C-alpha cells in the first residue's frame, strides 16, 4: 500500500480522510498532543486493523475522539464531575473514562466497562471530526513500544505502507499524550499525566486528585494496571537511558563522567540536558531538552529527541530530570519509562 501525506488544512484532504474513515480505512492525523492513528470507532473490523497496523496488544484499549458533546449521546453515561471538567478543558488534552453502552464495540475498550473519550482542540482535527461526523478511535500513531509521533514524518517512519493517508498538520503543540483521568471509581485518579495537570483538575473540581501508583515507578509484578497501557514498555529509544538526579553541579559532573567513561569503552554515548547546560557539557554531545524554566518546552521536544537518538545509533544516554510537578509530572512519567526508571541519585 502506498502511503500519501497531505496537508491537514486542505479541505480536499480532509474530505478524502473522511471518506476513508467511512470505508473502514485508517488515517494518521495530527492533534494538539501527538499524532493519532484513527478509524471509525463503531466499525469493529476497522478498529481491529488499528491493532494490526500498530502491533498493539488487543488488551490495551483505545481513546475515542469527538468534536462535539452531542456525540456522547448513546455512547456512554456522564460520571459526576465530568461536566465541570468538560466546561473547563474541552476541547483540549484531557481524556476521561465514561461508563459505556453496548454501542461501543468491545474491541475499542478491550472489554472494559468504561470507554476513554476526548475532544481534541487543534482546529484541523476538529474540522476532520466534524466533516466525517463519526466518533474516531485513535491510539498514538507509532508502532507499539516506540515514542509517540509528534510530526507527520514520525508517523511515516512507523506507518509507511500500512495505511493509505497521513494528514500533516506540522509539529504537535503539547508533544505528549493527553491526561487520562478516571472519575468512575470514587476519588478522581490520574492514570496517565499530560498537558492538563493534576493541579488544574484539582482546582476545577475542588477536591484532591490521586495519581495511579505506577506513574513514577515500574508496575510491580502482582499489581493490577489501572490503565492497561501502563503495563507495556513504552517511549523507549533503542539505547539505554539513565536519569541523573541531584544538585546542579553534582549532576553535571556525573553526566559528563558517565558519558565519557562509556565512550572510553567504545560505546556511542550522549547526554540530554537543559539549554542552560549545553555549554558545560559541550564535549558530551549534548542534546537540548529545552529550558529548565519551561517544562512545556521540555514536553514539546521530548519524543522528537528520543527518536533522534535512534537515528544517531546512541547506545547509552544520560539525562537530566525535571521536578515532577505541573507538566513536569508527565515529562517524568515518559522519561522514566524510557529509562525503565533507572535513576542515579548524586
Ligand atoms: O493524546 C492522546 O491521548 C493521543 C491522541 C492521538 O489523542 N492518544 C493516545 O492513545 O495516546 P493511546 O492509545 O496511545 O493511549 C491510550 C491510553 C492507554 O494507556 C490506554 O491503556 C488508556 O489510555 N485507556 C484507554 N481506554 C481506557 C479505559 N477504558 N480504562 C483505562 N485506561 C484506558
Ligand atoms: Mg500510545
Q: What is the 3-state secondary structure (H, E, C) of 122-143?
A: CHHHHHHHHHHCCCEECCECCC
Domain count, the chain: 2
Whether residue 141 sits in one domain with residue 9: yes
Q: How far does residue 139's CA lie from ligand 1's centre (Å)? A: 6
Query: Residue 271 contacts by C-beta under 8 Å, 6 or more apart in sequence?
Result: 255, 256, 259, 281, 284, 285, 286, 287, 317, 318, 319, 320
Is 234 part of any domain? no
Residues 200 and 92 in one domain: yes
Considering every ligand atom, which ligand is closest to the CA of 184?
1
Residues 39 and 164 in one domain: yes
* Same domain membership, residue 167 and residue 78: yes
Rounded to the nearest angstrom, the distance between the alpha carbon of 339 and the centre of ligand 1 is 21
Residues 286 and 191 in one domain: no
Let me know if residue 125 belongs to a domain: yes
CATH of the domain at 159: 3.90.870.10
Q: Whose CA is nearest to atom 17 of ligand 1?
A: 229
Q: How far apart are CA 88 and CA 144, in angstroms?
A: 32
Ligand closest to 63 (CA) is 1
For the chain, give the number of residues.
346
14 and 148 in a common domain: yes
How high is the pLDDT of residue 233?
A: 61
Q: Which residues line ligand 1 (CB under 6 A)?
A: 31, 33-34, 36, 60-63, 93, 95, 97, 109, 112, 114-116, 118, 138-140, 177-178, 180, 191-192, 227-229
Q: How far is the CA of 318 from the centre of ligand 2 (A)?
A: 24
Strand 179-182 with 189-192, pairing: antiparallel
In sequence order, the 6+-apart residues with CB closer than 8 A to the CB of 70 are: none
Question: Can you read off the three cell numbers belonging to residue 57?
Answer: 496488544
- One domain for residues 78 and 194: yes
- Select from 181, 216, 251 the last residue of a domain: 216
> Are 37 and 141 in the same domain?
yes
Alpha carbon distance 68, 71 (integer Å):
6
Q: Which of 101, 114, 228 to mutate to test the pocket of ligand 1 (most atoms within 8 A of CB)?
A: 228
CATH number of domain containing 260: 3.40.50.11030
Cα of first residue to Cα of last residue in the chain, in angstroms, is: 51
Rg of the chain in Å (alpha carbons): 20
What is the torsion angle, in degrees rounded to the nearest 10, for the CA atoms of residue 301, residue 335, residue 163 and residue 42? -110
Question: Which residue has its alpha carbon closest to ligand 1 atom 7?
Answer: 36
Atom 20 in ligand 1: residue holding the nearest Cα: 229
**306 — phi, psi (to 5°)?**
-65, -40
**Residue partners of 215: CB distance under 8 A and separation at least 6:** 190, 192, 193, 329, 333
Indicate whether 178 and 31 sit together in one domain.
yes
Check residue 253 and report its DSSP letter: H
Distance in Å, CA 282 to ligand 2 centroid: 33
In terms of domains, do 176 and 319 share one?
A: no
Residue 305 sits in which domain range? 240-345
Question: Is 203 found in the same domain as 67?
Answer: yes
269 in any annotated domain: yes
Instruction: Print pLDDT tens along the chain (346 aa).
Output: 999 999 999 999 999 999 999 999 999 999 999 999 999 999 999 999 999 999 999 999 999 999 999 999 999 999 999 999 999 999 999 999 999 999 999 999 999 999 999 999 999 999 999 999 999 999 999 999 889 999 999 999 999 999 999 999 999 999 999 999 999 999 999 999 999 999 999 999 999 999 998 899 887 777 777 777 666 566 788 999 999 999 999 999 999 999 999 999 999 999 999 999 999 999 999 999 999 999 999 999 999 999 999 999 999 999 999 999 999 999 999 999 999 999 999 9
- Asked if residue 180 belongs to a domain, the reply is yes
Task: Give me ligand 1 centre to Cα 271, in Å.
Answer: 30
Atom of ligand 1 nearest to the CA of 180: 23
How much is the pLDDT for 224? Answer: 74
Sheet with 240-245: list strands edge to edge.
286-288, 269-273, 316-319, 240-245, 343-345
Let me know whether 36 and 137 are in one domain: yes
207 part of a folded domain: yes
Amino acid at each position: 500500500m502506498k502511503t500519501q501525506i497531505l496537508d491537514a488544512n486542505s479541505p480536499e484532504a480532509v474530505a478524502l480522510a473522511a471518506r476513508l474513515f467511512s470505508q473502514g480505512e485508517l488515517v494518521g492525523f495530527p492533534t494538539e498532543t501527538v499524532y493519532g492513528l484513527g478509524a471509525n470507532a463503531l466499525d469493529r473490523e476497522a478498529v481491529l486493523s488499528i491493532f494490526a497496523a500498530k502491533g498493539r496488544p488487543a488488551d490495551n484499549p483505545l481513546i475515542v475522539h469527538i468534536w462535539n458533546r452531542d456525540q456522547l449521546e448513546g455512547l456512554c453515561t456522564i460520571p459526576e464531575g465530568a461536566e465541570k471538567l468538560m466546561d473547563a478543558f474541552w476541547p483540549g488534552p484531557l481524556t476521561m473514562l465514561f461508563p459505556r453502552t453496548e454501542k461501543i464495540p468491545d474491541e475499542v475498550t478491550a472489554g472494559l466497562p468504561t470507554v476513554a473519550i476526548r475532544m481534541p482542540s487543534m482546529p484541523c482535527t476538529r474540522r476532520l471530526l466534524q466533516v466525517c461526523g463519526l466518533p474516531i478511535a485513535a491510539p498514538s500513531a507509532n508502532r507499539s513500544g516506540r515514542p509517540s509521533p509528534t510530526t507527520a514524518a514520525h508517523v511515516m517512519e512507523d506507518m509507511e505502507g500500512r495505511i493509505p493517508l497521513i494528514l500533516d498538520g506540522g509539529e504537535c503543540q503539547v508533544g505528549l499524550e493527553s491526561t487520562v483521568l478516571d472519575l468512575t471509581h470514587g476519588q478522581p485518579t490520574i492514570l496517565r499525566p499530560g498537558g492538563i495537570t493534576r493541579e488544574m483538575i484539582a482546582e476545577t473540581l475542588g477536591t484532591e486528585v490521586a495519581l495511579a501508583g505506577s506513574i513514577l515507578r515500574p508496575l510491580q509484578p502482582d499489581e493490577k494496571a489501572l490503565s492497561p497501557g501502563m503495563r507495556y514498555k513504552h517511549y523507549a529509544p533503542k539505547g539505554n537511558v539513565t536519569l541523573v538526579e541531584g544538585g546542579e553541579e553534582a549532576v553535571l559532573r556525573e553526566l559528563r563522567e558517565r558519558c565519557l567513561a562509556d565512550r572510553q569503552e567504545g560505546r556511542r554515548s550522549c547526554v540530554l540536558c537543559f539549554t542552560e547546560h549545553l555549554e558545560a557539557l559541550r564535549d558530551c554531545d549534548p542534546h537540548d531538552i529545552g529550558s529548565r524554566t519551561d517544562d512545556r518546552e521540555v514536553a514539546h521536544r521530548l519524543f522528537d529527541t528520543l527518536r533522534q537518538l535512534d537515528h544517531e545509533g546512541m547506545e547509552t544516554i544520560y539525562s537530566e530530570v525535571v521536578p515532577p510537578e505541573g507538566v513536569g509530572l508527565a515529562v517524568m512519567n515518559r522519561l522514566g519509562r524510557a529509562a525503565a526508571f533507572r535513576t542515579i541519585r548524586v
